[in-house]
Amino acid sequence: MALWSRLLSLWRNLFRKEQVEKELAEEVQTYLEMLIDAKIRQGLEPEVARRLAVLEMGGVEQVKEQVREVRMGQLLETIAQDLRYGARMLRKRPGFTAVAVLTLALGSGATSAIFSIFNIFVLNPFPFSDSSRIYLLRQSLPKIGVKDQFRASGPEYAELAQIQAFERIAAWESVSRNLTGSEQAERVAAAKVSSDFFSLLGIEPILGRTIRPEEVGDSAARVLVISHALWQRRFAGDTNVIGQRIALDDEPYTIIGVMPPNFQFDGGDAWFPFPMHLHQLGRSGRAFAVLARLKSGTSTAQAASELEILARQQERDFASANPDYENRTYHLQPISEFYYGPLQTALFILFAAVGLVLLIACANIANLLLAQATSRSHELAIRQALGAGRARLLRQLLMESLLLAFVGGALGLLLAFWGTGALVAMAPSGTFPPGLEIPVNSRVLLFSLLITLATAVLFGLLPALRTSGGNLQQAMQTGAQRSTAGQRHRRTQNLLVMAEVSLSLILLVMAGLMIRSFSRLTNVDPGFRTDNLMTMRVNRSPAKSDGGKQMAPFFQQVIEKVKTTPGVEGVAVASHMPFVFTEDWALTVESEAVPVDLRTPSIDTRTVSSDYFSVMGIPFFAGESFAEAADVTPVVLINRTMANRYWLNEDVIGKRLKIGNADSKSPWFTIKGVVADSAQGTLDAETRPEVYFSLSQMASRYRRMNLVIRTTGEPKALLSAIQQRIQEVDKDQPVYQVQTIQELLAESIGTRRFAMLLLILFAGIAMVMAFIGIYGVISYGVSQRQQELGIRMALGASQRDVLRLILRQGMIIVAAGLVIGLLAAFWLTRLMANLLFNVSATDPLTFFALSLILAGVALLACYVPARRATKVNPMTALRTQ
Amino acid sequence: MKEKRTDLLQGTLDLLVLKALALGPLHGLGVSSRIEQLTRGTFHVKPGSLFPALHRMEQAGWLKSTWGESENNRRAKYYRLTKAGERQLTTEMEDWQRISLAIANALKAT
């Protein structure tokens, strides 16, 4: 009842304001008239009665004002008043408003854009149900130099399934297949999975079903779950797709399910059951990855201790047959880290960087506000004299800031909508999962709102406190305002400039470290010539390659044919290219240099044709290349690192190694030559030992090979001619992923490059803002001190003296800012250590060079207004008062 | 206009207004003269206190106002008690009696 009545009054006061005011006026007026009537009735003259009545009432307007003050919604009313007033003040200063709003929009827009990406990859990294409980299992086998690899063998998988802390485990192995069946052949990324794969991730198909347990291990059960993207692409979203047949590498599969669009895993488009029972595989054949979901309420520590017990038990039970088990360890890696690990660090750094930019923007606006505070102190003093309390003035000033922040924030949000998409689009492929949609969701909106409020307080509070707290009398005396109030503001402004300088320096150092690290990286010699080198993938189905037997002959034929293309200098074949991925096998080396139990390490391998080294430009240190079919016994080539590690650089030609452990049925391969080291997975990784197998002897193990073509001119110009030659060998043979080596290289460092460019952009913005900030404060100081400078010059100070005076004062602030910035950067940059390559996070040269650059920019920002100060005509300066 | 006046305590004003209106609807001047009459001239409520109080109490739902004709044919705003206002009067009267008794006792003690 009471509440209802209050709400009704509130509504009336806010929306029926005229009516309420009219009634109030009439009510008070009637009271006065009636009072006069009463006094006349008492026998007074009408004139006298009126005067006495007015006196008794104490003023009609005052009474009305007192009533207004008890009205509901009075607070809202004054806030609305402040807002209107604030808007008017901002409109009156369009230059300032535009600069402030744009600075804020840029700052908050960039921050929100980075946040919306951060939100997905760091705060809410995986679209799977309860993804924080999903882990990837990694193991280290120190005996054979395997560290943190994620492949497990069948028997190990069966033993891992017994761990109590796991709700369930699942296995997957990524493969790629030629998809045929309808019109056009296509290369798809697929995966062999165990039946628990989908249920572990907690994702239901939108059509059909997923894989049943009895279908795993049954090579006749060729069932296939496809991705939403593949369903759209090949079947145009046809709901009758369930039960249709398509072929993967010429083997027919029946489609049983379609996954939802947000389901993405390892870039896969199709999933089918493992055709064999995992536990029937050999103990040392580590082929597939293992996912584990922890039971809810179970800690990773519990799981880790169980894994440790398992590792020790495996060591005890199997070490005799598997010496690599000695000191083995397991560990769990959060699934998000596996997928987004480096990206998360990069995003974290970028988020921090953009936050610094926003802070600098706030400092700049605060400075602008302070500069105006002096000119407004008169206005505010008048308001104070008319009865406005300090709280009222503070509220009004903050309301202006809030208004600015909201306009800037709204513009920033628009920028964020656009910027998020642009960021994802500009990022090199591989940075973000394909088809990623980054929603601007409620969390992003909330974040933007908080940012807006925070910035308003950040840039508004200090000037508001400074401005509203002035001494009334001093402010009213315009002369005093210049010296006293101005001085106080200047101190605050100096502090703000100092903060700006130090924040900019942190950003500059961050960007500088990235640049240095990147240039070190691009100067790494990959060990081969990268110009005019093109690669493409060729996939052969088992049927066409006759179970592998026809692989080598086919590729020999292709090499011979492509070689005849005009403009082609050389052609070779490799199982995989540098910068794409690496492959490692367990090999046993015949070496006296290492202890017996270290002779079955896991080594990078590559199968290549004999011309690979000459085409790539990798020199030989010893021996010679393969002779293809003329090699009658099994032969290999090794790289320099391999020769150093296992044979200590002695004469290795004629030494032997075999695939698998010492008891394996593999023949011994004789080392025929040693080649120089060349890049493997990435440029920033140390070169590992590597063994090259011969195409003629090993091609049957592969389904896919890469053609490597060295040309005399632009490689891609020859593509169709080369394709024609390949089709002369097999008219149905597609090629895909046609890329130059330079593209592969660029892609492998693309994310790093992208992070660097963004940091440079942020640092650049920061430096410009710092410049504006310093410039603004120094010129403001000069304009405030005209009179003093005039006196100095009148008393004989030279232009040089004045210049030095202004510069010294400016540079003292800058120097203080630089020192603080250096200390902060020294402490902060270590957080980005793992984004850096061959550069220390506290690299002295970077720190020094960038301090110098920033000092130079600051000097320029001081010099321009200082120079103007020297042009002051003493007489004019003295007269301005 | 020579009578001794006591400053109205904040709470007492509400109580007096409610009491004045308990006898029937009144306009602003009516309320103030009724209070003067009830307190035998001890309290003289000025419009600067009276109107804010009336508006505040109306917003609280204790009073309801209507426009009507005064005895001299002037349009005036009349206030009357609502049910909630009657309840409020009862509680405020009880409170007042308790307090004044306590204070009277306190002052009597020597």
Angle at A291 between CA A288 and CA A292, to 5 degrees: 145
Across the interface, do B60 and A2 touch by the CB < 8 Å criterion? yes
Q: Tell me how many domains chain A contains.
A: 4
The pLDDT assigned to A855 comes to 94
- Report which of residues B7 and A302 the model is more confident about: A302
- A438, A418 in Cβ contact below 8 A? no
Q: Please give the pLDDT value at position A152.
A: 83
Residues 6+ apart with CB under 8 A from A387: none
ipTM summary value: 0.86
For residue A733 the two structure tokens come to 């043979």
pLDDT in tens, A29-59: 888 888 888 888 888 888 888 888 888 887 7
Q: What pLDDT does residue B2 have?
A: 36
Question: What residue spans of A427-546 are helical by DSSP H?
Answer: 442-468, 472-476, 478-522
User: What was the pLDDT predicted at A469?
Assistant: 64
Going by pLDDT thresholds of 50, 70 and 90, the confidence category of residue A818 is very high
- Is the pLDDT score of A468 beyond 80? no
Give the C-alpha separation, A371 to A365, whole Å. 10
Whether residues A296 and A366 share a domain: the answer is no
What span, in angstroms and rounded, lies between the C-alpha atoms of A394 and A465? Answer: 7
State the Cα–Cα distance between residues A477 and A878, nearest whole angstrom.
18
- Chain A positions touching B47 (Cβ under 8 A) are 28, 31, 57-58, 63
Instruction: Place A568 in a pLDDT band, splitting at 50, 70 and 90.
Output: very high
Taking CA–CA distances from B88, the nearest residue in chain A reads A2
Give the pLDDT confidence of A608-629 residue by residue, as tens digits: 999 999 999 999 999 999 998 8
Q: What is the pLDDT of residues A308-340, one digit of tens each?
A: 998 888 888 887 777 778 888 888 888 877 777
- Domain membership flag for residue B4: no
- Same-domain check for residues A413 and A478: yes
- Alpha-carbon distances, residue A585 vs A147, A582, A652, A663 (angstroms): 14, 10, 20, 15
A483 has a pLDDT exceeding 60? no
Q: Do B70 and A30 touch (CB under 8 A)?
A: yes
Q: What DSSP string describes A571-612?
A: EEEESS-TTT---EEEEEE--SSS-GGGSS-EEEEEEE-TTH
Distance separating alpha carbons of residues A85 and A400, to the nearest angstrom: 8
CB within 8 A of A698, min separation 6: which ones? A575, A607
Cα–Cα separations (whole angstroms), residue A641 to A404, A512, A850: 63, 33, 38
Q: What is the pLDDT of residue B1?
A: 36
- What percent of chain A is modeled with pLDDT above 90? 23
Residue A720 is assigned to a structural domain of this protein: yes
Interface touch B74/A30, C-beta < 8 Å: yes
Sole residue written with tokens 């953009």: A354
Q: Identify which of A16-20, A446-450, A674-678 has the greatest average pLDDT.
A: A674-678
Would you state the structure tokens that stand for residue A268, as one six-digit string? 């896969």
Query: Does residue B41 form part of some domain?
Result: yes
Residue A78, in any domain of the structure: no
pLDDT of residue A126: 66
Three-state DSSP class for B29? helix
State whether B76 and A1 contact (CB < 8 Å).
no
Q: How far does B106 lie from chain A, in Å, by closest CA?
A: 35
Residue A88 falls within a domain, yes or no?
Answer: no
Judgement on whether residues A179 and A317 belong to the same structural domain of the protein: yes
Consecutive H or E run containing A725 = helix A719-729
Q: Is B3 among the domain residues?
A: no
Asked if residue A37 belongs to a domain, the reply is: yes
Place of tokens 């110098």: A852
Looking at the fold, whether A307 and A244 belong to one and the same domain comes out as yes
In tens, the pLDDT along A710-753 reads 999 999 899 999 988 998 888 888 888 899 999 888 888 887 88
**Partner-chain contact A69 B58, CB within 8 Å:** no
CB-based contact, A63 to chain B, within 8 Å: yes
* CA pair distance A61, A25, nearest whole angstrom: 9
Cα separation of A138 and A71, whole Å?
Answer: 69
Are residues A450 and A422 located together in one domain of the fold?
A: yes
Does residue B88 belong to any structural domain of this protein?
yes
Query: How far apart, in whole angstroms, are the C-alpha atoms of residue A729 and residue A563?
Result: 13
Rg (CA), chain B: 15
A875 has a pLDDT exceeding 80: no
Q: Which runs of E-coded beta strand occur in A695-799?
A: 704-711, 735-740
Rounded Cα distance between A220 and A554, Å, is 29
Q: Are residues A374 and A497 in the same domain?
A: yes
The yes-or-no verdict on residue A566 having pLDDT over 50 is yes
A542 vs A674, higher pLDDT: A674
Quote the minimal CA–CA distance from A773 to chain B in Å: 51
What's the domain count of chain B?
1
- Whether A292 and A409 map to the same domain: the answer is no
Determine, for residues A6 and B48 on separate chains, whether the beta-carbon distance falls below 8 Å.
no
Contact B51 A33 (CB under 8 A): no
Residues listed for chain B: 110
Which of the pair, A363 or A5, is modelled with greater confidence? Answer: A363
Which tokens is A528 given?
Answer: 């081969």
Instruction: Tell me phi and psi for residue A380, to 5 degrees.
Output: -65, -35
Q: Give SS3 for A293.
A: strand
Residue B107 to chain A, least CA–CA distance (Å): 34
Half-sphere exposure of A27 (CA within 13 A, CB side): 26
Mark whether A388 and A487 lie in a shared domain.
yes
Q: Which residues of B touch A70 (CB under 8 A)?
A: 52, 55-56, 59
Does A794 share its domain with A688?
no
Distance CA A842, CA A509 (A): 9
The answer to whether A453 contacts chain B (CB < 8 Å) is no
Q: Are residues A178 and A308 in the same domain?
A: yes
In a domain, B2, yes or no: no
Q: Which of A47, A72, A97 is the last residue of a domain?
A: A72
Q: Dump pLDDT digits (tens) for A344-361.
A: 778 888 888 999 998 898
Minimum mean pLDDT range among A228-242, A265-279, A508-522, A586-600: A586-600
Domain containing B37 — which CATH number? Answer: 1.10.10.10
Is residue B84 included in any domain, yes or no?
Answer: yes
Interchain contact A67–B (C-beta under 8 A): yes
B55 and A70 in contact by Cβ < 8 A?
yes
Domain with B59, as residue range(s), is: 10-108
Average model confidence (pLDDT) across chain A: 84
Contact A412, A448 (CB under 8 A): yes
Q: Is the pLDDT of residue A124 over 90?
A: no
Please list every residue in chain A whose beta carbon sits closer than 8 Å to the beta carbon of residue B45.
none
Cβ-defined contact of B76 to A57 (cutoff 8 Å): no
Residue A184 pLDDT > 70: no
Residue A36 lies in a domain: yes
Tokens of A134: 């999903």
Distance from CA of B99 to the nearest CA of A (A): 26
- Per-residue pLDDT at B3: 38
Q: Is A34 in contact with B72 (Cβ distance < 8 A)?
A: yes
Task: Give pLDDT, residue A23.
Answer: 86
Residues whose CB falls within 8 Å of the CB of residue A722, separated by 6 or more in sequence, listed in order = A536, A562, A565, A568, A707, A709
Distance from CA of A19 to the nearest CA of B (A): 14
Q: Note whether residue A708 is domain-resident.
A: yes
Claim to verify: residue A478 and residue A569 sit in the same structural domain: no
* Chain A interface mutation, best of B59, B69, B74, B78, highest count of A Cβ atoms under 10 Å: B59
Could you tell me if residue B5 is inside a domain?
no
| Look-up of token digits 């995966």 | A191
Domain range spanning residue A42? 2-72
Q: Do A31 and B75 touch (CB under 8 A)?
A: no
Q: What is the pLDDT of residues B34-87, one digit of tens each?
A: 988 888 888 888 888 888 888 888 888 899 888 888 777 888 889 999 998 999
Q: Is A560 an interface residue toward B (CB < 8 Å)?
A: no
Indicate if the pLDDT at residue A482 is higher than 60.
no
Amino acid A452 reads T
B16 lies in some domain: yes
> How many Å from the N-terminal Cα to the C-terminal Cα in chain B?
36
Residue A428 counted as domain residue? yes
- In terms of domains, do A251 and A381 share one? no
Contact A23, A2 (CB under 8 A): no
